[in-house]
Amino acid sequence: MLRFLVDNSSGKKLADVLKNNNYDVSYAGDFSSGAKDEEILERAEKENRILITNDKDFGELVFRYRKPSSGVIFLRLKIDFPEYRIRTILTLIKKLGTKLKKKFVVASEDKIRIKKL
């Protein structure tokens, strides 16, 4: 089963839609609105959750500092409205499913890049 942690940058609305679609979802804002990126990544790893974020700093944590991760989906959208995030994530999950685990995925409107962690 896929489990997700939605970062504050991606929004509560996205977390709520994923929950309504029967995914196991945690929202960073529910446990700490001021948590540092490293703390959020650690929590996602500890709970075996794929982190969904709009914050490019997670790429640095994972690749430069080699922090462990259960997976990251980085949304790099030109038009960054909640509706676009929701559509992009639902399409991505439907298309890739469990292949998202232990991957760093960069998703834009027209392209998906996947790097194994």
Give the Cβ contact number of residue 55 at 10 Å. 18
82-115 tens-digit pLDDT: 999 999 999 999 999 999 999 999 999 889 999 9
pLDDT digits (tens, 9 = 90+) for 42-62: 999 999 999 999 999 999 999
Spatial distance between the Cα atoms of 47 and 109, rounded to a whole number of angstroms: 29
Stated pTM of the model: 0.96
Token look-up 């794929």 returns 50
Domain borders along the chain are 3-116
Which residues, in sequence order, are CB contacts of 6 under 8 Å at separation 6+?
Answer: 12, 14, 15, 18, 25, 26, 27, 28, 52, 53
For residue 65, give the amino acid letter.
Y
The answer as to CATH 1.10.10 being correct for domain 3-116 is no
